[in-house]
């Protein structure tokens, strides 16, 4: 597997149209919600008090939250954008990352003989940064018809990702809460700042 593929797989394992800014959530929307802050990448997000906070993801890159809907999760993570690409800084662009992510998802689910059906990508913003929402559905023998949203943004050296997994039948209900949750998301330090983590040659 290429280094490019390994980086995307690690990002998946750590969590798994027009651009319109998302308004900030009001205090009333999130009153009583708990706060999670990631020590490594500095991002933070508020989540409902009846959601369960899981263990930290490997290397402290993020965390998985568990809503009350069975077979659902919302994982927040950070990752490094250190691979070569066509951006002005010589790093991956959002489009390049999306294409690689889509290919690797297909490979990972293909190994489990699960057919993935893609919806059209959505352009949006995550904490003011341009972002992509890759959406796909599949049928799981144990969990039934499922849907996942993979939202990510890229800065000069860092990126942020959100993996949302839920039963297809619960998408409308859960995504209403997830949209409020995403409006509380703060990216931490400037994603376009030079990261103190230097990639190995």
Inside any domain, residue 117:
yes
Q: What is the largest CA-CA distance in the chain?
A: 48
Q: Are 161 and 76 in contact (CB under 8 A)?
A: yes
Write down the pTM of the prediction: 0.80
Inside any domain, residue 105:
yes
Mean pLDDT of the chain: 81
Inside any domain, residue 8:
yes
How do residues 103-130 score in pLDDT, each as one tens digit?
Answer: 999 999 999 999 999 999 999 998 888 9
Inside any domain, residue 14:
yes
| Gyration radius (Cα) of the chain, Å | 16
**Coil/strand/helix, residue 137:** strand
Inside any domain, residue 200:
no
Inside any domain, residue 157:
yes
CATH of residue 177's domain is 3.40.1000.10
Tell me which residue range forms the domain holding 148: 3-19+68-183
As beta bridge partners, residue 144 has 140
Q: Are 14 and 62 in contact (CB under 8 A)?
A: yes
How do residues 11-53 score in pLDDT, each as one tens digit?
Answer: 444 444 223 334 444 556 778 899 999 988 889 999 999 999 9
Number of folded domains that form the chain: 1
Inside any domain, residue 36:
no
Inside any domain, residue 132:
yes
């Amino acid at each position: 597997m290429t280094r490019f593929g390994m980086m995307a797989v690690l990002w998946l394992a750590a969590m798994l149209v027009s651009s319109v800014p998302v308004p900030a959530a009001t205090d009333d929307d999130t009153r009583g919600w708990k706060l999670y802050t990631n020590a490594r990448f500095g991002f933070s997000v508020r989540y409902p008090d009846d959601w369960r906070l899981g263990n930290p993801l490997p290397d402290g890159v993020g965390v998985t939250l568990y809503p009350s809907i069975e077979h659902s999760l919302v994982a927040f993570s950070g990752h490094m954008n250190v691979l070569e690409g066509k951006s002005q800084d010589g790093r991956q662009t959002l489009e390049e990352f999306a294409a690689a992510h889509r290919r690797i998802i297909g490979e990972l689910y293909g190994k489990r003989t699960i057919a993935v059906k893609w919806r059209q990508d959505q352009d949006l913003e995550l904490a003011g940064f341009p972002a992509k929402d890759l959406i796909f559905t599949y049928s799981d023998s144990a969990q039934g018809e499922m849907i996942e949203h993979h939202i990510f943004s890229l800065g000069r050296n860092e990126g942020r990702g959100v993996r949302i997994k839920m039963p297809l039948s619960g998408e409308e209900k859960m995504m209403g809460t997830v949209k409020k949750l995403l409006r509380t998301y703060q990216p931490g330090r400037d994603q376009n700042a030079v990261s103190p983590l230097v990639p190995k040659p």
